[in-house]
Each structure stands twice: as C-alpha cells, then as structure tokens.
Structure 1
Amino acid sequence: MQFVKMIRFDQNGFTSGPLKSDPIFKGREPVFINREIDNLFHTGQSIYPSEMIQPRYTDRQWSGCSCYLEEFTQVATETRHIGFLPRESVIWVRNKSHLGGGIPYFNRFFQPLVEKATVDDTLIIDTWVKMTVEDALERTYLWKKEYGSLPDWITECYLMEEQVKRLVYPSASEKTMEFWLIKN
C-alpha cells in the first residue's frame, strides 16, 4: 500500500470535529457536490440540485478536518503536523480545475423539466467535490507545470473523520529526515 503526505496546520493536529470547528470554514457555508471527478479536463459540467449537500455546521456526520495534500507553499503561522493517507483514498477537494486558473468542474444545474442547463456562477464559491488522491496529485502537478507557484486551494482537501482515523503518523526519525531533506 502506498501513502501520500497530508499536512495540517493546527495546534491540535489532525483532530476531527463538526464543520464549525474547522478554521477553513469559519464564517463560510461550504457546499459538497456528491460527484466524483473522473476526468481532470472535463469542466463546466451539469449537476442536479439534489446532488448538492449543504451540511449544518454542527452535523457530526460531516465531522472531519481540512488539510493539504503533499505540499503547502504559503507561509504558515500554526504548528505543522504530518500524517499519511492511503494513496487509493477518495478525498474532498475544491470544485476548481487546473485549467484557466481554476475553471470549475461543475457550474451548471440540470433541470429535468427544462431542455438546457442553467449556469450558476455561485457554484464555484466554496464548493467541494470528490476526487481520488491520485487525480488530486495530478491536478497539482498540472497546475505547477502551467503556473509555477501553488495557490492554497489546489492542494487543500477535506478528510472525513473515518479517513482521519486511518492516517499513519511518522516517527520522530522520519520527521527529522523530512526536515533534513527540505533543508538540503
């Protein structure tokens, strides 16, 4: 089994809690689109309104924590924690592609009683979709190849509580080795 590095900036490490307890969602109302991205180049897709989930901030079913996949290039003021997630996992990522500076994967509502879909620009604001870790890593690679520096949203992800419980944590010697590799 292969693992990927997850990075969390929080004094308490990888702790799960309701959405309201996660700093990334402070003052925001995230919407989760119950669809998995299977093609990184397929943007502007339509969804049924019933595929949108807007959990309440106190909903324990949506407990989890936000973190970053493999890398984070911004300056962080909080303590950094590392955990490893199985590479075959499916995670929640921002509804933005690596194309055109972040064109959304889903930005239209499909109405069964109307012949064509209606575009809704608000679908790109604080929406999350499911994606395999492998595809999320590829999306990051493609962004870096095109634009160089990484915005935080490209590696940002949300892990559900069950995924947080499955994280593997590095030993002290592994942390020392990672520090040494970063510096050299």
Structure 2
Amino acid sequence: MQFVKMIRFHRNGFTSGSPSKQMEKDPVFLNRVVHNLFHTGQAIFTTEIISPKEEDRDWYGCLCYLEENAMQTSGTRTIGFLPRESNIWVRNISHVGDGTPYYNRSLHPLLEYESGDGGNVMTDSWVKMSVEDALERTRLWKEKNVHLPDWVTECYLTERQVKRLIYPSTNETVMEFWLSKN
C-alpha cells in the first residue's frame, strides 16, 4: 500500500471538528467524484448539494494540505500519511485557471430543464476527488503557473479519514524534513 503526505498547520494537529468551525464560512459539499480533470461547467442535482449542520458528526473533520503547501511558513506543522487510493474533498476549482469550477450549476431532479441562467452553485464548494487526480491537478497547475495557491493542495479530511492516518515516528519526521530541504 502506498501513502501520501498530509500536512496540517494547527497547534492540536489533526483534530476533528465541525466543518463550519474549521472553515471561514459554512461549507457546501457537492456529493460527486471528479473523474475528468478537464471536464468543467457541469450540472449537479440539488439533492447532491450538502450543507452540513454543526451538530452533524458525520461531517466532522479538518482542513489540511496534500503533499505540499507553499503559503504556510509558520505555525505548528503536523504530518500524517493517508492511503493513496483514498478519495478526499477538494475545492470545486479546476487547474485551468480563472476559478473555473467543475460544477457550476444545479438542476432540480424532477425538472427537465435548468432553472435560472446557470452558474448558480456556490463558488466556495467542495467535491470528491481521488488522491491520484488531486496530485495530477497540482502537477497540471504547476506546469503553467509559478505561484501555488492554497486551494490547489487544500483538502478536507473527514474524521473517519483522520483516524486512518499513519503518523511518522520522530526519526521519520526528521528524515522527511531533511529530504524536503535537499
């Protein structure tokens, strides 16, 4: 089994809490898995849009970064390793730039037409993606851009995923630090 590095900047490490306490505003999760990194502007049924309530423990988790983060330079850094075959929640933004989302409009499941003028899905939403695709999205972004924004590697792990993390020993942490500097 292969693992990927998850990075968390928080004094309490990978502690889980309600999504609304972890994020700047109440999060919206789109219950879809992105399979094609180039397929943007898709529609989603309104029944697949989830806005978890604060007391809903099924959505407890934490924000972290996949493999790297160029923005954070200070604070307590904790490393955990997640199985590479996992699906994670990532920002609903593709690598093509200009904030182009994978899903940008919703459909009511009982109507055969789209209501409104499209583009009605909240822009600050999250979609599921395989770790492999999330790493590829980062690679594609870095191919055309010098600056690596937070959202490219940011992900949300649920409490269930946090419990699956493997934490390195002190020697492994030192080795990982040394390798990242050389």
Q: TM-score, normalised by structure 2?
A: 0.93
Gaps of 5+ in 2: none
The structural deviation recorded for 1:97 is: 0.3
Q: Give 1:30-69 correspondences, 5 Å limit.
A: 30-69=27-66
- 1:21-170 to structure 2, matched below 5 A, reads 21-22=21-22, 25-26=23-24, 28-111=25-108, 112-116=110-114, 118-121=116-119, 123-170=121-168
Q: CA–CA distance in 2 between the matches of 1:66 and 1:31?
A: 14
**1:117 CA drift (Å):** 6.0
Shift of the 119–155 alpha-carbon distance from structure 1 to 2, 3 Å rule, reads farther
Amino acid at match of 1:4: V
Partner Cα distance (2:72, 2:19) in 1:
24
- Aligned equivalents of 1:57, 1:122: Cα separation in 2: 24
Q: Aligned partners of 2:181, 2:155: CA distance in 1, in Å?
A: 26
Partner AA of 1:175 in structure 2: T
- Cα offset for 1:175? 1.0
1:120, distance to aligned residue in structure 2 (A):
4.5
Shift of 1:122: 5.1
For 1:54, give the aligned amino acid.
S
Change (3 A) 1:96 1:124: farther
Residue deviations 1:2-24, cap 9 Å, x none? 000000000000011212332xx
SS of 2:152's equivalent?
A: helix
Seen in structure 2, the aligned counterparts of structure 1 residues 80 and 92 have a Cα distance that, compared at 3 Å, is same
- Tell me the alpha carbon deviations over residues 70-126 of structure 1, each in whole angstroms, 9 at most, x when there is no partner: 000013332000000000000000000001333100001224424346455452522
Q: What is the number of equivalent residue pairs in this alignment? A: 181
Work out whether residues 43 and 105 of structure 1, in 8 Å CA contact, stay in contact via their aligned partners in 2.
yes
Q: Name whichever of 10-19 and 100-109 sits farther off.
A: 100-109
- The structure carrying a bigger helix percent of its residues is 1
Question: Structure 1's 147 and 117: CA in aligned 2 closer, same or farther, altered over 3 A?
Answer: farther
Cα RMSD (Å) of the superposition? Answer: 1.6
Q: TM-score, normalised by structure 1?
A: 0.92
Gaps of 5+ in 1: none
Partner SS state of residue 174, structure 1? helix
The answer to whether residue 13 in structure 2 is matched with residue 16 in structure 1 is: no
Residues 163 and 42 of structure 1, relative CA distance in 2, 3 Å threshold: same
Query: What is the match of residue 174 of structure 1?
Result: 172
Matched residues in 2 for 1:165 and 1:31: separation?
A: 23
